[in-house]
Amino acid sequence: MAENGNNDNVVTETKVSMWKQMGTTEDWWAIWLAGLLFIIAVFSVFTWKPPVEQMPEYRATMNQEMEEAGFRTIAYTEAESQLNSIQARREGFTATVHGLTDRPKGWDTNPIRSVYMGEEEAAAKRAEAAPRLEAAEERLAEARAQAEAAEDAARAANFEDPALNAEARAAIGEWRQARSEHSSARSAANTQAYNLIPSLIVLGAIIMVFFSIGAKFMGINMRQFYTGFPIIFALAALAYVIANQATLSAVGLSYVMWALLLGLIISNTVGVPQFLKSAGQTEFFIKTGLVLLGASILFGQIALIGIPGIFVTWVVTPIVLVTTYWFGQNIIKVPSKELNITVSSDMCVSGVSAAIASAAASRAKKEELTLAIGMSMIFVAIMIFLLPLIANVTGMHPVWAGAWLGGTVDNTGSVVAAGELIGMEAMYVAATIKMIQNIMIGVIAFGVAAYWCLKVEPERACGIGEEPIKFTASGALYEIWYRFPKFILGFIGASIIFSIMQGAVTPDWGNAMVSDGILAWANRFRGWFFALAFVSIGLSINYRELKEPLRGGKPLILYVCGQGFNLLLTLFVAWLMFMVIFRDITDQLMAGA
């Protein structure tokens, strides 16, 4: 990173060697630390390996049953269950770390339940659940007997009798539902006492030491860092506790918002002492979290729902993003380009995750990121209710409705909740569309960073008296490399590496070892890093500084207009793709409904 010096009120830049950057800048330390986490995770997963050698047998059973019957039989279901239980995160050291990074639990009326439940209360819950378990076991046995009888009848007819097949399918569906209810009842009847406080303390210490490695080389005051970090971690844990209140969780008020709010409260009441500012390394936490996030961007999943899914996500979304940005710059005239791109990304890509990536790539102010996320959460809460209502009242086809929700509602959890209010197919299609859209974040972040480097802030490459760089071959590529935010490369690199890894193995192996192993580990740490980042953001903002970006209500107008355009365009394209051009895919998705 360049160092600034003043010489007769003219700012000059002295370039720092790439080697020095690699050892002293937060961009590079975000990559090194995330890389260290990945290496440890890979080592752990391969050392304490789950029984993946059994997976082909289960898969073969499932394929055979599906080929014979054309629907999920009892044997299929049991093999599927065994297959899904093979997860690297349940084995050895991987399981230990996975448990250690556990977040505070959900609670209804008593917040203490999020971190502690004594043996007495656990015993009371077990006793309370015992009758429910007994009833569930009876129901399960009955449903199984009926499913077996129906399946035997269908099998006797070689699965060629549609009426017998339909009966078997229905009976097995009931049995699967009974299994699910039995599993839930069994969990309740096996309620164990827990105390997360010691593990949270250990986790906080581990994360503090983890970041202190980079902080030391970056020249941060370590005494102040060690003094302030426990407070920031405690606030992050508190944000999780609040967010896990059952009703607040249902409304979509995530830990990100509470982390911001807690930081803002302290910053705007008692004030923030210097040691807390030193510990609140926002960019460092966010960039490390983003590199971890990159690993979950798996390009192989883009084609999951076929061309219509790609159109709704990878064609509509960039159109809306560019149009909204242009609208904000030229029509509404939002004064800050960074605020514009952050709000636009947040609104049309995938909410908080896209906002973070765009804000970091464009070097937006913290208040701008805060504003974008705050607006998004308010509108998401409205859309969770409004869009399913429109879909249900107008009788929209579930697949069309699901694609519409997935392409427009900002956060993934909210998409799933909204889809749930329509039906199973809508929920699953919505979730898949949103997941494919999440994959765009890597491309968006790279594009924003490159655009800012070349077009928005090209004068940063200037020495005194020089012209801004033009995009010519000679020297320009070096300048772009020099100026480009390096953590984005770590973000993209993680995505490419894990996409290749996922594509090189069978989906089952990939799920067991990568998704439910390495990435599950990275996911947990990522959540904590972002919680720390948003507490730090809150601590650094005076509420009066939020007034400036809000001036004239332009961000709000931008969001509303952009989201309105997004809703209409996605509605039309989803209809065109799923209901007209690729109706066969829609029919496939609805088969068995």
Of 140, 143, 203, 369, the one binding another protein (CB under 8 A) is: 369
Determine if 268 is a binding residue for another protein (CB under 8 A).
Answer: yes
Please report whether residue 137 would count as binding another protein according to CB under 8 A.
Answer: no
Can residue 423 be called a binding residue for another protein (CB under 8 A)? no
Q: Spell 143-153 as b/e; 16+ CB within 10 A means b.
A: bbebbeebbeb
Judged by CB under 8 A, the chain residues 566 through 585 that form the site for another protein are: 585
Of the candidate residues 88, 203, 435, 494, the single one contacting another protein (CB under 8 A): 435
Size, binding site for another protein by CB under 8 A:
96
Task: Check residue 16 for interaction with another protein (CB under 8 A).
Answer: no
Residues 48-67 that bind another protein (CB under 8 A): 59, 63
Nearer CB in complex with another protein: 153/188:
188
CA distance 399 to 428: 9
Q: How far is the CB of 229 from another protein (least distance, A)?
A: 18
Residue 351 interacts with another protein (CB under 8 A): yes or no: yes
Minimum distance from CB of 61 to another protein (Å)?
12
| Residue 246 within binding range of another protein, rule CB under 8 A | yes
d(CA 399, CA 302): 17
414 part of the interface to another protein, by CB under 8 A: yes
For the segment 542-561, give every residue that binds another protein (CB under 8 A).
Answer: 542, 544-545, 547-548
Position among 133, 232, 260, 305 found at the interface with another protein (CB under 8 A): 305
* Cβ-based neighbour number of residue 463 at 10 Å: 9
What is the smallest separation between the CB atom of 428 and another protein, expressed in angstroms? 4
Q: Does 304 bind another protein (CB under 8 A)?
A: yes
Candidates 74, 136, 196, 286; binder of another protein (CB under 8 A) is: 286
Which of 38/255 has CB closer to another protein?
Answer: 255
Smallest gap, in angstroms, from Cβ of residue 435 to another protein? 4
340 binds another protein (CB under 8 A): no
Determine if 277 is a binding residue for another protein (CB under 8 A). Answer: yes
Q: CA-to-CA distance for 278 and 289, rounded, in angstroms?
A: 19
* Residue 532 near residue 207 (C-beta atoms within 8 A): yes
Residues 98-117 that bind another protein (CB under 8 A): 108-109, 111
Indicate which single residue of 17, 269, 394, 472 sits in contact with another protein (rule: CB under 8 A): 269
523 binds another protein (CB under 8 A): yes
What's the N-to-C CA distance of the chain in angstroms?
57
User: 509-530 burial, b for 16+ CB within 10 Å, e for fewer?
Assistant: bbbbbbbbbbbbbbbbbbbbbb
CA–CA dist 237, 554 (Å, integer): 34
CA distance linking residue 173 with residue 593, whole number of Å: 11
* Contact criterion met (CB below 8 Å) for 178 and 141: no
Contact flag: residue 176 with another protein (CB under 8 A): no
Cα distance between residue 9 and residue 62, in whole Å: 73
Q: Which residues of 443-454 are buried (b: 16+ CB within 10 A; e: fewer)?
A: bbbbbbbbbbbb
Give the CA angle between residues 43, 216, 256 to the nearest 5°.
Answer: 70
Q: Where are the alpha helices (DSSP H) in 190-221?
A: 197-217
